[in-house]
Structure 1
Amino acid sequence: MSKVNKSKTLSLDEIKNIITRDIRLGSKHDNLSDTTVNLYTRQLIKLYKAGVAKQQWSPDEFISNIHYPMKYDDASFQKTFKVQNSSIIALLMSIYTSKESLILTLNAMCKMVKNRFRDAFGYYNAIRKELSKQNKAAKLDNELTPEEEKKYISYEELMSVPGKVHKVLTETYGKVFLSRSEFDELAKAKRTEYLKLVFDYITLWLNVHYPLRLVWPSVLLAPEEGANYLQGNTLHLNDFKNVRLMGPQTIQLDSTTMSLIKSYLDFLTNSIGEQPSNLLWRIFNRQPGEYDYTNSSNSFSQVLSKLFVKYNGKPMSMNMIRHIAESHLIQSPAYAKLTNREKNDLHATWPLTRVTTRLQTERMLLKYPLNQTIHTTKRQSLLQSPL
């Protein structure tokens, strides 16, 4: 274990540039989107910081440990993964417990060494394959990790969280969206409190009813090439993790959600005099503004988790929201009528696509109509749940 040589320590931006460069070198034929490259870089920066804190690794030592993993015997590890353990993998598994986070970081490490450090690539790929196999088996059995179990809530409770904000708004202000005169009557501090509630309500509603990973903060209100935008009641997705693999996607938003969005945008324009270009807004430095989803120091995943703590007492990640939605789908009458092959296909595509298996699920529901006693909104939930 060596000490950091401060005279040679690179800045964090320089380390990010090196990591990003290596990822692009290993993926030049894969057409990774900028979103994916940035995601991989963030994962490896977290791993780098852990290496500095726990191993006193210098930037060069960190990169070297990825290129040339320092392996050692570990009987338990070798029994599971059929390869030796290493300092970099032990570090990785000390900071991530979720298989999905481990796989994501290993994806990034594979890109860093692909086509240049073949032994390292084969090593990481072997571990990644075993973790993916375990993760798929857990999904088929609908298992939760101990950490997820602590955060787990029912589908009904999940869907009720936006309603808790709605209740506060109506009980405190008499309605959700105030008119211009009603808003102007509020004291300045009260205006900020009120706007925060409105923005929280919209954010929670959209992410609970359409769990689109971390897409919503980037949604624009006018068409723009290569961007995510809302046009009429159609959500156009052109910038998400697997867009290179899946191609652009479109989603038809339901009438209730569109009615809410229309009222919300009318409120922004007419009641507080804004001309929004982004759908999601927030309060920052006591001022309303469009959400800057590129701000890594205050990432949207953290914002979402804090909103669930604030209104429901438990943190909630997008992965967990999607898991709860998936569980709800599994318990539906339509799912019970699927063949084992169709069930396997549905589960296999869920963690792979991350953004949408809506068309597949919609076809499933058309082929296997829900029991007529189930309310129409339940059917809509099934259509939305895998997004």
Structure 2
Amino acid sequence: MRTKKSTPTLAETNRRTEKWFRRGLWLLAVVFASFLIGLGGKIVDDLPKVEQSHELSHYIADKAQYEQLNAQKSQLEKRLGEHENALEQAQLALEKQRNETQSQREKYIASLATRKISEDREQNEKVFERTAEYEQLLAKERDLEKQVEQVRQQKLDTEQAIEQISGSLNDLETAAQPLKAAADRATELKVFLYRLALTLPLLLAAGWLFKNKRQSRWFPFVWGFIFFALFAFFVELVPYLPSYGGYVRHLVGIAVTVLVGKYAIAAMYRYLERKQAEEAQPITERETLNYDLAQNRLAKHICPSCERPLDFTNENMDFCPHCSVQLFKKCGNCQTRSSAFNRYCYACGQKHE
């Protein structure tokens, strides 16, 4: 049987111990990537802070007027708070006075009723006293109402002054907004180019490793670096991609999709062409199959060579009907039919020739 001892690759295996070793190596790749990501984050944090931006006030043309208006607005807002507290106190005092006036009015009405019934001189004097007290309370209530109205007017004047100053501030900020937007776009582009200069070499190195070293014996470190490069691309670069209304991000997304799709389509057709070329060659000229890879494909009920599905329950099928590779043969010692990819006969233990 055609077999070949080769350098261990990422091909699956049926050995349980080797499977656990490979799982551990993939865990090593993840751990290695996490440390690389941590180191990359520290480097980015320690780089010059090019992404710092200024507040809108930095772009105001007349900063002296802007600061003066803000100071006046702060004073008026403080005064407005004082007016609100004074109004609340005045309203409470007025409410209390109204209750007291209402109580005195009820006593006054009761005194008038008593005077009509008794016509007593002493009752007349009490009526006069209650009338004077009632009028004093009414006068105090009117004074408190005037005080409440005065505080309300002061509060309204202050609110109108704040509104006027806010309008002036809004005019200054509206004029400065285009300047800030332009500066923010320039900073955004600078941040993207700065991060691109750091990320692009990582992506190029990861692409080379993926193409040439992803199945080498050092694959945990290779894939760890690839994971790190992908993290740097999607976390450290993509979020800082300039938007410009969404056009740039959509165009970049289209370009990346086309490149990845083109690579995937080309890889698929290369695979199909390679398989077709293998099937067209004489069986003796075909590439020797990896033992573990062949066993795994057989376990999935597909041809180890052309990878097409087969009916392995057919006891008369010794060769693949698609590529003619031998699937089963009889043992030279005991004539037991077994897989042509087995190294030893499972019935007698004789090594296959």
The alignment's TM-score, normalised by the length of structure 2, stands at 0.23
- Of structures 1 and 2, the larger Rg is shown by 2
Between structures 1 and 2, the one with greater strand share: 1
Higher RCO (Cα < 8 Å, 6 or more apart): 2
**TM-score normalized with structure 1 length:** 0.21
